[in-house]
Structure 1
Amino acid sequence: MSTAGESITPEGLEALKAELDELEGPKRRDIAARIQRARELGDLKENAEYHQAKDDQAHLETRIAVLAERLRNAVVTEISTDESEVGFGATVKLVDEEKGREQVWTLVGAAEADVSSGKLSIESPVAQAIIGRRLGETVTVKTPRGDRQLKVAEIN
């Protein structure tokens, strides 16, 4: 999963560090305690609690490794303050000219993207199409459902 560097906002970096601290500290200790309690129940071969705790531990350690790798590759990219042009970290209101629907996206690094929270990866087709565009411009975005005409209605 190594990359030359993943852009991340300063807030995204802090959230990444906080999640990693939580997993490496309290969560890891909780699972270790669960494993210890399950061991005390006796025979490990048929101990479902023990096997579940070990599975949870494996998932936790995998998540820690992924986050640690992201942290090593993170390149803090300052948020664009130019409200006349779409840039990294900008919050943009787009209007689908065909359907009239409005969408509001904040452009962030891939590691912190979360569509349900309105955070769109800078690597996504929509973000790639609107980067560098100015207020009022309309862009064509190729999507699996066909081309969409999106107008940059607001930049914050």
Structure 2
Amino acid sequence: MGERLTKSDVEKIQAEIDHRKLVERKELIEAVKEARSHGDLSENFEYHAAKKEKNRNESRIRYLERMLKNAVIVEDHSASDEVGLNNTVEIYCEDDDEVETYRIVTSVRGSSLNGLVSIESPLGKALLGHKEGDRVFVKVNADFGYYVVIRKVIKTESEAEDQIRSF
């Protein structure tokens, strides 16, 4: 099974692919041609650097195209009072006696250091479908888990409100 993406994720990835193909590819090919014209290729650092950057761009294009080819489109079907995709959730961690806030996102956007929790992560899986006030067990592995209490669920009206990093 491929990455679980929203329609917005697919659009952003396709936009990056188009930009890399139509803009960056042309610029990088020109940079390689320019560096090649400077003479001896065996000692031409600019040529090797330009070639490496061109290859990096082509690799990124292939990676993104493969991601889209295998993607599974997901939508939020949660009720208005349940935790769902793109919702912000305030939770109380019983073990740490701390309140933390996370946004539930697709796996390609997950970044727990930035408060973005993937729907594929143990915390994301545990929270989905629960309501404010629910005490939820987060199973990390076969031997370990912990409890959190959902304090607040903030519904996001549209993905346009995302403040998510680029892919």
Work out whether the TM-score is over 0.5.
Answer: yes
Q: Which residue of 1 aligns with 2:160?
A: none
Going from structure 1 to structure 2, the CA distance change for 1:116 and 1:64 (only over 3 Å counts) comes to: farther
Query: TM-score scaled to structure 2, two decimals?
Result: 0.78
Mean CA deviation greater in 110-119 or 51-60? 110-119
Going from structure 1 to structure 2, the CA distance change for 1:142 and 1:75 (only over 3 Å counts) comes to: closer
SS at 1:112's partner residue?
coil
Percent sequence identity over matched residues? Answer: 32
For residue 153 of structure 1, the aligned residue among 148, 151, 165 is: 151
Q: Which residue of 1 aligns with 2:119?
A: 122
Q: Which residue of 2 aligns with 1:58?
A: 55
Q: Does residue 109 of structure 2 align to residue 112 of structure 1?
A: yes
Query: TM-score scaled to structure 1, two decimals?
Result: 0.83
Instruction: Judge conservation of contact 2:4–2:74 (CA < 8 Å) in 1.
Output: yes
The aligned length equals: 152
Instruction: Report the alpha carbon displacement of residue 116 of structure 1 after superposing the two structures with TM.
Output: 4.3
SS at 1:110's partner residue?
coil
Deviating runs (4+, > 4 A) in structure 1?
A: none
| Aligned pairs for 1:75-154 within 5 A | 75-143=72-140, 147-154=145-152
SS at 1:41's partner residue?
coil
Q: Report the aligned-residue RMSD.
A: 2.1
